Structure 1
Amino acid sequence: MLIFKIFRADEWAALRKVGATDGAPIDVTDGYVHFSTAEQAEETAAKHFKGEDGLFLLAVDSDALGEALKWEPSRGGALFPHLYRQLTLEDVVWAQPLPLVDGAHEFPAGLGEASA
């Protein structure tokens, strides 16, 4: 299944330039790269990136991450995917802008179906 990472433009640019990243500052602090499922991504954007423009949504195949990916409880006890290694450019299946429209992030249509 696809899981999703929201990056600011500079974080996405750095990953493309270097080829690997420890993630955003919160990821570095927590010691793992935070991801969301398709069902969790919009709430993640609203909670942690409210009103922030210039974001990118990255899709990653969870199965390809192997044992470095752990599913752990977070918001409300829901299980969230956490990556305990660097995220590499090779891990990224696709990336696209996550535009801010009328104060909310506009996610790709059918995101939930794309993760199955």
Structure 2
Amino acid sequence: MSSAPLPDVAYKILTREQLDTLLADGTFGGAPIDIADGYIHMSSAGQVRETLEKHFAGQDDVHLAAVDLRALEAAIRWEVSRGGALFPHLYADLPLAAVIAHAPVAWNEDGSLALPG
């Protein structure tokens, strides 16, 4: 039985303040929930909309950072989370060098999420 390959890009949802920290410092140590859990939560392209709706509903000025997982190698673990799905978790600070694009959360006319990068 073969499984689909894991994606090379994941998304970190950031507040404007968190994005500013990443851009100014060149690294991001995590949101309060990341620090509490011991890893930085990220989502695949197929998971990010549900993550936004579940954890960021009603929040203004939220941004998505597209992260090149190949640049993070061993610090990424795909672990079972919501609904039994595998989610990418980063067991290190997020370096700006691994961020390939970032943009405010935006929606396409058809209601789909407009992903950066």
TM band (smaller chain): 0.7 to 0.9
**Structure 1, 92-101 or 49-58: larger mean CA deviation:** 92-101
The two structures, once aligned, show a CA RMSD in angstroms of 1.8
User: Do the aligned residues in 2 keep the contact of 1:59 with 1:93 (CA within 8 Å)?
Assistant: yes
TM (norm. structure 2) is: 0.85
What is the aligned partner in structure 1 of residue 4 from structure 2? none
Q: CA deviation at 1:99?
A: 3.9
User: Do the aligned residues in 2 keep the contact of 1:7 with 1:57 (CA within 8 Å)?
Assistant: yes
Q: CA deviation at 1:63?
A: 1.6
What is the aligned partner in structure 2 of residue 24 from structure 1? 31
TM (norm. structure 1) is: 0.85
- SS at 1:39 equivalent: coil
- SS at 2:47 equivalent: helix
What is the aligned partner in structure 1 of residue 82 from structure 2? 75
User: Do the aligned residues in 2 keep the contact of 1:34 with 1:83 (CA within 8 Å)?
Assistant: yes
What is the aligned partner in structure 2 of residue 4 from structure 1? 11
Q: CA deviation at 1:91?
A: 1.1
Q: Tell me the matched-pair count.
A: 107
Matched, 1:43 2:43: no
Partner deviation per Cα, 1:30-62 (whole Å, 9 max, x = no partner): 110100000000000000000111011000111
Matched, 1:89 2:96: yes
Higher share in helix: 1
Q: Stretches of 4+ moved more than 4 A in 1?
A: none
Amino acid of the structure 2 residue aligned with 1:30: D
How many Å separate the matches in 2 of 1:107 and 1:13? 22
User: Do the aligned residues in 2 keep the contact of 1:22 with 1:85 (CA within 8 Å)?
Assistant: yes
**Residue of 68, 81, 87 corresponding to 1:61:** 68
User: Do the aligned residues in 2 keep the contact of 1:52 with 1:100 (CA within 8 Å)?
Assistant: no
Tell me, which stretches of 5 or more residues in structure 1 are unaligned?
none
